[in-house]
Amino acid sequence: MTAVLFDFSGTLFRIQSTESWLRAALKETGLALAEPELADTAKALEAAGALPGGADPVDLPEDLAGLWAVRDESAELHRAAYTGLSRRVPLPDPALHDVLYDRHKSPDAWSPYPDAAEVLRTLRERGIGVAVVSNIGWDLRPVFREHGLDAYVDAYVLSYEHGVQKPDPRLFSAACAELGADPRQVLMVGDSRAADGGAAALGCRVHFVDHLPVAQRPDALLPVLDLVG
Q: Domain boundary at 87, 108, 129, which?
A: 108
**Is the same domain home to 121 and 215?**
yes
Residue-level pLDDT at 72: 98
Q: Give yes or no: residues 76 and 167 share one domain.
A: no
How many structural domains compose the chain? 2
- Separation of alpha carbons 171 and 219, rounded Å: 27
Average pLDDT, stretch 39-44?
Answer: 98
What gap in Å lies between CA 168 and CA 158, rounded to an integer? 12
Supply the range of the domain harboring residue 58.
Answer: 15-108
Task: Answer yes or no: do 66 and 148 share one domain.
Answer: no
Per-residue pLDDT for 229 more than 90? no
pLDDT digits (tens, 9 = 90+) for 184-198: 999 999 999 999 999
For residue 83, the one-letter residue type is T
The pLDDT of 67-86, averaged and rounded, is 98
Same structural domain, 89 and 177: no
For the entire predicted model, the pTM comes to 0.96
Residues 118 and 216 both lie in one domain: yes
Say whether pLDDT at 212 is over 90.
yes
Distances (CA, A) of 150 to 121, 146, 147: 10, 8, 8
